[in-house]
């Protein structure tokens, strides 16, 4: 019976530990937090987008860094359908929402974390809540330093990335890999809020918008790099929200001023319909100042900024607004631009891009090509994907394959 150490009690680590134990191994899981799944419990605003109800090729298409084809073996070993079945069988009913995003019916991420923990406990995993200081190969096994030295035949590193450090994701796995002589690609934030050059965003801090259309353009190439429709949030530094986080993953080689966000606040209305709506509001508030005639059309925090950008005198009576001024207002509502200054720091990202170099890991087993008996899974690998449940799918599939491979090798 192989003695396996799993370092990290997040999504990938719990899956790896539970499955390795279910395959007959003696498993010890090391987690430095007092409980497992700390980051998992807050993911998806506490709802947890477990996976995406799609096929393997669709998951591959949504992996945006590293080598997506690396995942074929792991995804075929534990595809989305199996992830859904796993949680249903472990007491968590699921539902599918827009974009094939799968959530627990309870809308509680804690239910997912608890199901994984129970699975590991029932399989016989031994939990040690202590920080691992080092991993050292010794003969045909390893020593794990965590409140003393502990010998194991194999080690699975599932320590996550370097985002949300308060949850325990402090980049330990990258340090272990480097200390063992392995390569780690450059780390950068992915699925992260964006800072903008203009002060307008700060003026609208706290304003959340739904049903907004986004187009991102690259000033260097002149091309559109991303389009989306959905929710966003203005902040003191710029913009955030689901649509913005998704867009951030597409902004490669980010340089100050390179990317421009184009917001359409009224995407459901064509120009003629929008103009008719403006005329109706202007007729209704004919004797008001222009700045006080937009409350039916726009949220209060948005009005002063839109008025300023339109170039129309805010104190001008509505019945004096000309057709050309109305067209200028429509242009602002249709194409409200913000220039991206930079991404927020890695610590604020949902996902870490970069990680343990995939060229040094076997895609068929998740085992290091350089150090036999050492395995990696989850966010510590140089793999990340777009929003929609794909990053957790990577964690579950690579964790499953790493656990099985370590138990049966």
Domain annotation for the chain: domains and CATH numbers = 3-189+351-408 (3.50.50.60), 193-343 (1.10.8.50)
Report, in this order, helix, strand and coil percent for the chain, each rounded to 5.
35, 25, 40
pLDDT, tens digit (0-9, with 9 covering 90-100), for 12-27: 999 999 999 999 999 9
Q: Where are the alpha helices (DSSP H) in 92-205?
A: 109-123, 172-179, 200-203
* Per-residue pLDDT at 368: 98
Mean pLDDT calculated for residue range 325-336 = 96
Pairing of strands 51-52, 101-104: antiparallel
Token pair recorded at residue 51:
């996976």
Given a cut of 80, whether residue 265 has pLDDT beyond it is yes
* Per-residue pLDDT at 253: 84
Mean pLDDT calculated for residue range 96-101 = 94
* Per-residue pLDDT at 273: 95
- Please state, in angstroms and as integers, the Cα–Cα distance from residue 182 to each residue in 145, 160, 177, 374, 381, following that order: 19, 17, 5, 11, 12
- For residue 315, the tally of other CB atoms under 10 A from its CB is 9
Token pair recorded at residue 297:
């059309």
In which residue are the tokens 């308060």 written? 166
pLDDT, tens digit (0-9, with 9 covering 90-100), for 247-258: 999 998 889 999
**d(Cα 312, Cα 86) in Å, to the nearest integer?**
59
Sheet holding 374-376, edge to edge: 126-128, 26-30, 3-7, 154-157, 374-376
Question: 72 near 11, Cβ under 8 Å?
Answer: no
In which residue are the tokens 């994984």 written? 116
* Per-residue pLDDT at 252: 80
Question: 366 near 402, Cβ under 8 Å?
Answer: yes
- The DSSP 8-state label assigned to residue 401 in this structure reads H
**d(Cα 407, Cα 24) in Å, to the nearest integer?**
7
pLDDT band at 165 (very low <50, low <70, confident <90, very high): confident
């Amino acid at each position: 019976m192989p003695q396996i150490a799993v370092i990290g009690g997040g999504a990938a680590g719990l899956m790896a530990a539970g499955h390795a134990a279910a395959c007959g191994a003696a498993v010890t899981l090391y987690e430095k937090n007092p409980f497992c799944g700390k980051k998992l419990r807050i993911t998806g605003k506490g709802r947890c987008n477990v996976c995406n109800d799609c096929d393997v090729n669709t998951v591959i298409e949504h992996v945006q860094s590293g080598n997506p084809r690396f995942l074929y073996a792991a995804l075929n070993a534990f595809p989305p359908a199996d992830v859904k079945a796993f949680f249903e069988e472990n007491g968590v009913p699921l539902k599918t929402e827009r974009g094939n995003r799968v959530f627990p019916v309870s809308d509680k991420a804690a239910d997912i974390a608890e199901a994984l923990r129970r699975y590991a406990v029932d399989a016989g995993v031994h939990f040690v809540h202590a920080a691992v200081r080092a991993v050292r190969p010794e003969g045909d096994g390893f020593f794990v330093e965590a409140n003393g030295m502990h010998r194991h035949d194999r080690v699975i590193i599932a320590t996550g990335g370097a985002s949300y450090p308060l949850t325990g994701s402090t980049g330990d796995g990258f340090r272990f890999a480097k200390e063992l002589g392995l390569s780690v690609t450059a780390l950068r934030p992915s699925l992260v809020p964006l800072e903008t050059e203009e002060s307008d965003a700060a003026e609208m801090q706290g304003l959340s918008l739904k049903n907004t259309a986004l187009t991102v353009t690259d000033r260097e190439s002149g091309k559109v790099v991303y389009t989306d429709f959905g929710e966003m949030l203005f902040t003191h530094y710029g913009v955030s929200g689901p649509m913005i986080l998704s867009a951030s993953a597409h902004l490669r080689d980010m340089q100050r001023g390179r990317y421009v966000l184009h917001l359409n606040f009224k995407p459901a209305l064509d120009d003629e319909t929008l103009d008719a709506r403006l005329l109706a509001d202007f007729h209704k508030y004919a004797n008001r100042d222009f700045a006080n005639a937009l409350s039916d059309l726009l949220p209060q925090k948005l009005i002063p900024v839109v008025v300023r950008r339109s170039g129309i005198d805010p104190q001008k009576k509505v019945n004096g607004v000309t057709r050309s001024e109305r067209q200028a207002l429509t242009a602002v509502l249709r194409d409200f631009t913000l220039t991206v200054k930079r991404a927020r720091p890695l610590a604020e990202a949902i996902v870490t891009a970069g990680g343990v170099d995939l060229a040094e890991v076997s895609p068929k087993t998740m085992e290091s090509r350089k150090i036999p008996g050492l395995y990696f899974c989850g966010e510590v690998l140089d793999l990340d994907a777009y929003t929609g449940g794909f990053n957790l799918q990577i964690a579950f599939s690579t964790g499953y394959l790493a656990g099985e491979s370590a138990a049966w090798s």
